[in-house]
Amino acid sequence: MNTANLQLEGLYLAIASINDLLVGKGILDADELDLALRRAEANATAEERMEEEISPANRDAICFPIRLLRLANRMRSDAEPPSFSELARLVGETKQPYNDQR
C-alpha cells in the first residue's frame, strides 16, 4: 500500500477520535457534527464542482473522508471505536448514486 494512503488512514482515524472527544465533552452534539459534515459533502459535490466534469470515482474519492467521519460519528459509543477497514467497507455499502448517475 502507498505510504500516503496509510498516512491518510491515520489522519481520518485521528480526526474521528477528535470529533468523538468534542461530542463527548459536550462542545458539539452528534447532530451538529453530522450537519457540519453533511455541509462539507454538499459543498464538495455542488453544481459548480460538477461542471468541472469530475468523474463519479473522483467524486467518491473527494467524499470518502467526509462519509467515513459521518459514519464514525453515528457509530460512536463507549465501546471500542470501529476500525478503519470496517468504516471504509460501510462507506462503500451505503453510498448513493449521484443525480447524474440515475
In a domain, 53, yes or no: yes
In a domain, 102, yes or no: no
In this prediction, residues 67-86 reach a mean pLDDT of: 87
In a domain, 42, yes or no: yes
Question: What CA–CA distance (Å, rounded) separates 31 from 48?
Answer: 27
Q: Count the domains in the chain.
A: 1
- 100 to each of 30, 48, 73, 91, how far by Cα in Å? 30, 14, 28, 20
Exposure on the CB side of residue 49, measured as CA atoms within 13 A: 17
Q: Per-residue pLDDT for 79 more than 90?
A: no
In a domain, 70, yes or no: yes
pLDDT at 95: 79
Domain containing 31 equals: 3-96
pLDDT at 22: 96
Q: What is the pTM of this model?
A: 0.82
In this prediction, residues 51-80 reach a mean pLDDT of: 85
In a domain, 38, yes or no: yes
Contact between 87 and 72 (Cβ < 8 Å) = yes
Contact between 86 and 15 (Cβ < 8 Å) = no
Compare 67 and 44 and report the one with higher pLDDT.
Answer: 67
Q: Per-residue pLDDT for 42 more than 80?
A: yes
Question: What CA–CA distance (Å, rounded) separates 56 from 64?
Answer: 12
